[in-house]
Chains A and B, each alone.
Chain A
């Protein structure tokens, strides 16, 4: 039942992408969805901004994730409504394949937020002020000033700056999925009998749904 990468504690380089409304079309353009698969999407991540020319894949040095100082970034800092737009779970699959394990934003698109927990990526909502403070800290020396996320304790801390220690909320179900790397379907199937009992009762009450 455990087929996902558990998320317990993560220390990593954080890259700021502070715009609001970074939509899933930007995260993974539709043209980068090339097969009926969850794999092979990392290369298409942010393809519209990451490459000068998407066909030749020549990197745009101005794009934050291409800058040497943000090499191996595994945490993104962003603005409001991150992951809004299309429901495509490919956005999370692309982020995960690229190596992103956590996104810190003011708020998230609803469907994207749900998709994260299904795929071992932790979405953390913090205030604009806190994200600004994290950004200032990170930008001064991105490779050294890493961030540390402890999911069990629900804290986000700065590895070299003791003033930064932010608690964050996570819903208990998503926390459990992430901590244990659980397969949500397997987890729900342990409740088969409860579900079957409901469906039996409901089929008597609303037979037209089941015909």
Chain B
């Protein structure tokens, strides 16, 4: 009997098989944030219940904290947002769970700090009332995004009920071209197979191009699995992951390390393991991508054109036409002709050090186009400190970027500060839904390098094109 990585993770955590394709799964870690986690803590307390294991619960301030440099501890980026911060703090303190507060040196976006602090590591089951929890599958963790009620349930009982998903392997063979990132690969997959392409499936990424990705790139790739409707994503842990986790604050104690390493090395799919479906991708065929519409599946190459509506499958045409109206783009229009009003670099998708480095490489010695608002918000304080130690903050600011305090920032609008209605924004984030970054704001998703190049050119541009322009 062969087993996939997911089968093995399931077996480790299976408390009970309920015989209807579902089971009770032990939840090793619960992460919460002030936007959806506070309400879970409150509901728990109101029901007269307490977390079974408060030491394995982590509450983090990230979603609506201000990203203004020099922000106050309770300063929110949206009207009324301070309540979420103060109430989550009070309830987390009462419940005795770990709290990573706004002014904590470890603070950052929950999915950015979970690897940094090794709250997530191979073999852990970790849930968070946040859809991008799937990011953490990049470490070989069973990471599941849930609603607040399920987080409350897991805190109270130590388990959650899961309907066992089907399994899909996405094998990416060969090597990505230089300048093609994990973000481009993810957008390539979503645009090729649709925003519900992995419906009810756990996706395991494998193959030479995946092995070659850094930990941070793997986190980006797995982060976008939810935009592909996946149950979650997984990558088998390798030596890179073991080296990455070792010695971090919540990593297993050194006294266990031999057992831990042995166990983690076994967390991989057997050679002849079977999947319900498989997608094969030639890494060399992936180009830098950008979205043109209001779903992450509506993408083209950075040198491409907005598609002709009739070239799309019939069931996608109506949505495409509506998206084109909202985005103010036309069929067959060159994406590189679109003028840009704003850019944002950050988020749980692309707010890590390597993302900031890639953008800084494009920005070094250059300036953003006149009149364009450019914002960079590092994904965590650790990322911010590391970037500042390398002088990356100075590169961004010299180019005309604002340099913010860590949090989700402009990835989503929560009332409060944003780009003006009608703005065209190139963003390193994960969702381009109507109004996601603000009423009437038109979001184009891309990699940090593409965002940076577009900021400099004032039009949508791939990083290569930008660098070539500068050279000639």
Contacts and interface: CB of A to CB of B under 8 A. Distances in A.
Same complex origin of A and B: yes
A194 B20 contact: no
A118 B149 contact: yes
B294 to A, nearest CB: 8
Contact of A38 (B22, B39, B156, B231): B39
B463 interface: no
A177 B273 CA distance: 35
Contacts of A130: none
A188 B20 contact: no
Contact of A86 (B12, B83, B131): B131
A43 interface: no
A199 B26 contact: yes
B131 A118 contact: no
A194 B16 contact: yes
Interface in B144-185: 145-150, 152-153, 156-159, 161, 163
Interface residues of A, number: 56
A55 to B, nearest CB: 10
B200 A110 contact: yes
Interface in A106-162: 107, 109-112, 114-115, 118-119, 128
A120 B161 CA distance: 17
A80 B28 CA distance: 33
Contacts of A21: 195-196, 295, 319
A84 B87 CA distance: 28
A163 interface: no
Contacts of B230: 110
Contacts of A85: 131, 431, 433
B156 A171 contact: no
Given A31-B415, A184-B153, A114 B158 contact: no
Most chain B Cβ neighbours within 10 Å, of A20, A80, A85, A115: A85
A55 B387 CA distance: 40
Interface stretch (A59-67, A70-78, A202-210): A202-210
A179 interface: no
A26 B413 CA distance: 12
B439 interface: yes
B458 interface: no
Nearest to A20: B319
Given A31-B78, A85-B433, A194 B15 contact: yes
Interface in A1-32: 19-21, 23, 25-26, 29-31
A137 B53 CA distance: 52
A80 B194 CA distance: 11
A188 B157 contact: yes
Interface residues of B, number: 74
Interface string B317-347: 0110010000000000000000000000000
Contact of A195 (B42, B158, B195): B158
Nearest to A80: B196
A29 B319 contact: no
A118 B147 contact: yes
A56 interface: no
B88 interface: yes
Interface of A: 19-21, 23, 25-26, 29-31, 33-38, 48, 80-81, 84-90, 92, 107, 109-112, 114-115, 118-119, 128, 171-173, 184-185, 188-189, 191-192, 194-195, 198-199, 202, 206-211
17 contacts: A19-B318, A21-B319, A33-B414, A36-B38, A36-B84, A85-B131, A86-B131, A110-B231, A111-B146, A115-B150, A118-B147, A185-B47, A191-B16, A194-B15, A198-B16, A202-B26, A208-B260
Interface of B: 12, 15-16, 18, 20-22, 24, 26, 28, 35-36, 38-39, 42-43, 47, 49, 53, 56, 78, 80, 83-84, 87-88, 123-124, 129-131, 133, 145-150, 152-153, 156-159, 161, 163, 195-196, 199-200, 229-231, 252-253, 256, 260, 263, 295, 315, 318-319, 322, 412-416, 431, 433-436, 439
Enumerate the 3 nearest inter-chain pairs by beta-carbon distance, A residue then B residue, closest first. Answer: A208-B252, A31-B415, A89-B147
Given A48-B435, A171-B21, 18 more contacts: A20-B315, A33-B35, A35-B80, A36-B42, A36-B88, A88-B147, A89-B39, A110-B199, A110-B200, A110-B229, A111-B131, A115-B150, A171-B22, A173-B20, A188-B153, A191-B24, A195-B158, A198-B16
